[in-house]
Amino acid sequence: MVYSILRGFCVALDERGVSMDSGFLSELRRVMGRKIGLTLPCVFINGRYVDGAKEMRWLHESGELRKLLEGLPAADLHLCVCHVCDDHR
């Protein structure tokens, strides 16, 4: 759900697979100041931690997410087009 919401805004994403690289998990633990208890996905927008899917949904539904994403670099346009409906929604 989080990925879909962010993709809908066509902003560039920096995804890091913590299951694929233990260095990413170490970095995340350092940034979060936690050794255990991390819930994925961990989303940061301009350095601000967004507390998972529930907060992301609230930010999106309230219109606050659009404000947080203003001015961020855009994603490649081919990543923003819906491949199911060819963006005819």
Nearest of 29, 47, 39 to residue 2 by alpha carbon: 39
Look at residue 84 and tell me if it is in a domain.
no
Task: Give residue 62's domain range.
Answer: 2-79
pLDDT per residue over 6-57, tens digit each? 988 999 988 888 888 889 989 999 988 877 777 888 899 998 898 888 999 9
Q: Which of the four pLDDT bands, split at 50, 70 and 90, describes residue 86?
A: low
pLDDT at 89: 46
User: How many structural domains compose the chain?
Assistant: 1
- Does the residue 89 lie in any domain? no
CB atoms within 10 A of CB 56: 20
In a domain, 87, yes or no: no
Q: Can you give the pTM of this predicted structure? A: 0.72
Backbone φ, ψ for residue 70 (5° rounding): -60, 135
Residue 85 is assigned to a structural domain of this protein:
no
H or E stretch covering 49: strand 48-50
Which helix (H) or strand (E) segment holds residue 48: the answer is strand 48-50
